[in-house]
A and B are shown apart, each in its own frame.
Chain A
Amino acid sequence: METLKEAFSLIVHLDSELIQIICTTLVMSFFSTSISALIGIPLGVSLGKHRFPGRGALLRVTNTLMGLPPVLAGLVVFILFRSIGPFGSFHLMFSVPVMVIAQVLLITPVVTGLSASASASTWVAMRETALGLRLSGLKQTSLLLRECRGPFLSVILMGFGRSIAEVGAVSLVGGNIQFKTRVMTTAILLEANKGDFSKALALGIILMLLALIVNIPAYTLQERWK
């Protein structure tokens, strides 16, 4: 009850630091999810629709990477992008872009794997018709994309969910710097580490509300596409 009250008062008073944390979280998740979708969906569709040598191996690699632990993704990106690392000249450590890079590494395999399986099963169902109608390859793909838009939306939402909820990678490469790279999850971890569990939980409630706000319009859209 106390926690609910605290969450409510945090939302009502909405200080500039919390606004910054929420904005950084949304900006980061927006970019990680969009970039992962732009890479992952085309990859997934080509894996789902086409049969080519090495396809099985690629699918297995993708499925393994779907389980990539966030801290490992963070560690790899940290080693690559720290100032003495191979990409150190970009000076991206402890910034939102490097957090996005780590998350893209994490989310793209999930988007690829899930859209591959969604498009594969849909393609099996529509293959005969599409070939019967003598559609060109391009037309086939655009029809497949249209048929799969519902599942793809779920895939994107799942990617967004993973992005907004992730803490291992973003805390390692982002450094949880106040007013700069602190996001909801790292703020929750910080409060929990300080022993302020009710504030941590209050922040968690706000995070879940954010996820709900994003999911409501998406769900409506999905219903319409059914």
Chain B
Amino acid sequence: MKKLLALILVFCLLFSFAACGAKKDKVIRLATTTSVNDSGLLPYLLPVFEKETGYKVEVASAGTGIAIGYAKSGDADLLLVHSKKQEEAFIEEGYSSTERLSFMYNYFVIVGPEADPAKVADAATAADAFKAIAESKAGFASRGDNSGTHNKETGIWDSVEIDPTGEDWYTSVGSGMGDTLTKANELGVYTLTDKATFLSMKANLPNLKLLKEEADDMKNTYSLLGVNPEAEAFKGTDVKINTEGANALIEWLQGEEAAKLIEEYGKEAYGEQLFYLLKK
């Protein structure tokens, strides 16, 4: 018994050290949002990149807010996020080594209960839909986590001059997209989501229906930002940024091969394309 336990432990130790064996300059730390990782896009793209270049990409996926927090802490080499305002602030503060490299987009969609009490399906734009939800007090679940999706949502509320904070039909979940969808499903309320995450979870969301998509004000643009090793906040600290690796990944993601893969993604599993390329 003791021998067996010792053996398992030694095995585990060796295994964990082997995992640490990757060379530092071959590791790229990518901080990103849940929507491109949990929907399966990155797990589909990155192995191709890793095989071709020999880099190892470590993905920390969280909301855009915390992803940018990781980058500002010097713990990410590049960002793949979708929140224009936050990206522009990041650049303005001197954290970025590149401009805002927007390369793909998809659409946010509004999902909600099948009965559609606020008649969201008839609204022309997201702004109209939000107004209808507020007027009917039909219930809305918000990410509430300062993520790209949450910022998009607050932007729409601002555009119709409604402040839903504290209203009893408005639930601020404070969590990721998946968790928010699950809660909206349980509560039978509306929510704003990226389409890819919704489709990948649809089987577990029997009470939610896709009600509104592809309105002009629902475009969701994803951008790449390299982290600037010379940023003011990194002065005098021991921050190490793998700029070479980050640039290699940035270039590859904007290249032709990735473009083909991105356009194919989703067709097989969901019967439709989930991410579109921005024409340059």
Contact = CB atoms under 8 A, between A and B. Distances in A.
A194 B16 contact: no
Contacts of A85: 73
A85 B73 CA distance: 8
B75 interface: yes
A225 interface: no
A20 interface: yes
B204 A197 contact: yes
Contact of A91 (B13, B179, B238): B238
Query: Which one of B1, B16, B240 has the highest number of Cβ atoms from chain A below 10 Å of its Cβ?
Result: B16
Contacts of A23: 11-12, 15-16
A33 to B, nearest CB: 13
Interface string B14-28: 011001100000000
A179 B19 contact: yes
Interface string A189-223: 01011111100000000000000000001000000
A30 B12 CA distance: 10
Contact of B239 (A88, A197, A217): A88
Nearest to B178: A193
Interface stretch (A43-51, A134-142, A170-178): A170-178
Interface in B176-224: 176-179, 181-182, 200-201, 203-205
Contacts of B115: none
B56 to A, nearest CB: 9
Contacts of A169: none
Interface in A19-68: 19-20, 23-24, 26-27, 30
A84 B181 CA distance: 35
A23 to B, nearest CB: 4
A167 B234 CA distance: 29
Interface string B104-140: 0000000000000000000000000000000000000
Interface residues of B, number: 43
Categorize the interface residue count of chain A: 20 to 34
A82 interface: yes
A37 to B, nearest CB: 16
B5 interface: yes
B178 A195 contact: yes
B15 A20 contact: yes
Nearest to B17: A27
Contact of A83 (B62, B204, B238): B238
Nearest to B62: A175
B165 interface: no
A194 B60 contact: no
Contacts of B74: 82-84, 88
B91 interface: no
Nearest to B34: A193
Contacts of B62: 175
Interface in B53-86: 58-62, 70, 72-75
Contact of A195 (B20, B72, B205): B205
A88 B16 contact: no
Interface of A: 19-20, 23-24, 26-27, 30, 78, 82-85, 88-89, 91, 93-96, 175-180, 190, 192-197, 217
Closest 9 CB pairs between A and B?
A83-B74, A89-B238, A195-B204, A82-B73, A193-B178, A175-B60, A195-B201, A83-B239, A23-B12
Given A95-B20, A193-B34, A194-B38, 20 more contacts: A24-B16, A24-B19, A26-B8, A26-B9, A83-B73, A83-B239, A84-B74, A84-B237, A85-B73, A88-B237, A88-B239, A91-B238, A175-B70, A177-B60, A178-B43, A192-B178, A193-B175, A193-B179, A195-B178, A217-B5
24 contacts: A23-B16, A24-B16, A27-B15, A27-B16, A83-B75, A83-B238, A83-B239, A84-B72, A84-B234, A84-B237, A88-B238, A88-B239, A89-B237, A91-B238, A91-B240, A94-B58, A95-B20, A175-B58, A175-B60, A176-B60, A192-B179, A193-B176, A194-B200, A195-B182
